[in-house]
Structure 1
C-alpha cells in the first residue's frame, strides 16, 4: 500500500512538472514574440505569474509540513509550479546580462524577480482569502 502511494505521488509530480514545463515554454515563446528577446521577459513573466499562483495555492490548500504533502500540493505546487517556474534560467540570464555589460538590466531583472515576486505571492495569498 505504501509503495503504491509513493508511486502515485511520483506520477502526480511528474504529470504536473510536464504540464508546467510546457506552459513555461509557451509563455516564454509568447513573450519573446511580443516583447523581443533583448531582455528575458518570458522568464520574468513565468516566475512572477508562478509566484502569484503559489501564493494563491498556499492560501487555498494550506502550507503543509514537509511530511504531510497532499496529492493536490504535490501535483500543483511541487509538480506544476516546479516545472513552470525556473530559478536556474533566471540565474543564468542574470549572469549573461551582467557579463555582457548590461549591469543595470541584470540588477533590474534581479530586483523585479525577487521584490515583485514576493509581492505577488502576498497578493495571491490575499486574493485566495488567506488574510494577512
Structure 2
C-alpha cells in the first residue's frame, strides 16, 4: 500500500533526480562536446548500475521496499531518461547520422542492461 508519506518521499526524490540529471548533463556537455549525447548516455548507464545494485540489496533483504521505491522509482526514475535517449537518437537520424544514431540507441540499451547486471552482481559479493 502506498502511504501518503511514501508518495511524498518518492515525488521529492524524483524531483531531486531530475535536478541531478540536468546538472550532470550540463557538466558533461561542457567537458565533452562531442557528436554523441554523452551526458544522457552516462546518466542512463550510471542510473541502471545504481538500480541494479539497489535491486541486489533488496534481493538480499538489506533494503526495504519503501527505500527501493524512494530511491529506485523516485530518485533514479527522475535521474534516468529513456525519453531523452530516444529523442536524441531521432535527432541524430534526422541529421543524417545513421551510425551515430545506431551507436546511441543500441549502445545505450546494451550498456544499460550490462550496467544493471554489474550493479546487481557487485552487491551480491558484499
Check whether TM > 0.5: yes
Show the 5 A alignment for 1:65-84: 70-84=65-79
C-alpha distance in structure 1 between counterparts of 2:125 and 2:13, whole Å:
24
For the 8 Å contact 1:51–1:118, the answer to whether it is kept is yes
Structure 1 regions of 5+ residues with no counterpart?
64-68
Q: Secondary structure at the match of 2:124?
A: coil
Across the two proteins, how many residue pairs are aligned to each other?
124
Question: How far apart are the structure 2 equivalents of 1:20 and 1:37?
Answer: 24
In the alignment, structure 1 residue 43 sits paired with structure 2 residue 50: no
CA RMSD of aligned residues (A): 2.1
TM-score of the two chains, using structure 1 as the length reference: 0.86
Work out which of the residue numbers 94, 98, 112 in structure 2 matches 1:99.
Answer: 94
Which residue does the alignment assign to 1:117?
Answer: 112
- TM normalised by structure 2 equals 0.90
Post-superposition offset of 1:130: 6.6
Q: Secondary structure at the match of 1:18?
A: helix
Identify which of 18, 24, 31 aligns with 1:34: 31
Deviations 1:13-36 (A, max 9, x none): 111101111110111011101111
| Cα deviation code 1:40-85 (max 9, x no counterpart) | 111000000001101100000239xxxxx82101110010010000
How many Å apart are 1:112 and its aligned residue?
Answer: 1.2
Shift of 1:11: 0.6
- Do 1:12 and 1:71's aligned partners in 2 also have CA atoms closer than 8 Å? no
Over 4 Å off, 4+ runs: none
